[in-house]
């Protein structure tokens, strides 16, 4: 079965630090890699996404790095803030458009 | 406001008592789906619907039913709930195919089956 493996399961980062969450996939036919952010009591919401024809995408303090040969992609949060504390999900989309989800990472930013 | 709504938000029930969780979206999306979220397991898809009267099983469909009689509504039915269906449930919608890259999620329904 196709999988997306996400790590770590939880992460504590000091305010101002860099948060890094990693995902690895197996299927080379994936064509879209989104990251979703979920705050407590809310549904996930799209944060940032990348397609495999680029190696990096940056939106404000959030950057996706994509390594096609290693089949890995990661989310970097620069200058992490307490308001970034949330659960983050990576995902990958195969040709049938049903997203394959990572297990999630609970991020806590300590003031 | 474009949104996906779910009701109820919280539900405590007993084993075997049929229940329905409603989901409605106002974005005219063809595609809708249901997920359950459990600690350490992330989001697992229960059922999805590509359009009205078209539904298909996701990864964990056992014990659940769905129907799609109207484009905007996609209720989740538990005919005989069991304690292992205690979970946080999310409904989501998007446009179909490549154009529907972003999924819009509802606020979630926390279900406890005693």
CA distance A72 to B41: 20
pLDDT tens column, B35-80: 999 988 999 999 999 999 999 999 999 999 999 999 999 999 999 9
Q: Looking at the predicted structure, is the pLDDT value of residue A1 above 70?
A: no
pLDDT tens column, A40-86: 999 999 999 999 899 999 999 999 999 999 999 999 999 999 999 99
Task: Tell me if A86 sits within 8 A of A37, measured CB to CB.
Answer: yes
Q: Looking at the predicted structure, is the pLDDT value of residue A104 above 70?
A: yes
Give contacts of A 34-73 with B, CB under 8 A. Answer: 34, 36, 41-46, 49
Find the DSSP H helices in A1-111.
none
- Quote the minimal CA–CA distance from A42 to chain B in Å: 5
Q: Looking at the predicted structure, is the pLDDT value of residue B100 above 80?
A: no
Q: What is the DSSP letter of A99?
A: P
Give the chain B residue nearest A103 (alpha carbons): B42
Task: Tell me if B51 sits within 8 A of B33, measured CB to CB.
Answer: no
Distance of CA A67 to the CA centre of its chain: 13
pLDDT tens column, B7-39: 999 999 999 999 999 999 999 999 999 999 998
């Amino acid at each position: 079965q196709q999988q997306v493996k996400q790590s770590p399961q939880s992460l504590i980062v000091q305010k101002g630090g860099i948060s890094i969450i990693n995902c690895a996939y197996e299927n080379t036919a994936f064509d879209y890699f989104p990251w979703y952010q979920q705050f407590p009591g809310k549904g996930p919401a799209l944060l940032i996404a990348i397609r495999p024809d680029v190696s990096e995408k940056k939106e404000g303090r959030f950057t996706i790095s994509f390594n096609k040969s290693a089949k890995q992609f990661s989310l970097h949060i620069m200058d992490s803030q307490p308001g970034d504390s949330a659960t983050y999900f990576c995902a990958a989309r195969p040709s049938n458009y049903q997203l394959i989800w990572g297990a999630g990472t609970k991020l806590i930013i300590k003031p | 406001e474009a949104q996906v709504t779910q009701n109820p938000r919280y539900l405590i029930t007993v084993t075997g008592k049929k229940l329905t969780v409603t989901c409605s979206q106002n974005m005219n999306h063809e595609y809708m789906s249901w997920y359950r979220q459990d600690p350490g397991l992330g989001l697992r898809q229960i059922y999805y619907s590509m359009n009205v009267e078209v539904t298909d099983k996701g990864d964990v469909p056992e014990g659940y039913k769905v129907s799609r009689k109207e484009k905007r509504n996609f209720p989740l039915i538990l005919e005989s709930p069991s304690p292992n269906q205690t979970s946080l449930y999310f409904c989501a919608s998007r446009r179909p195919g490549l154009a529907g890259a972003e999924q819009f999620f509802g606020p979630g329904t926390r279900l406890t089956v005693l």
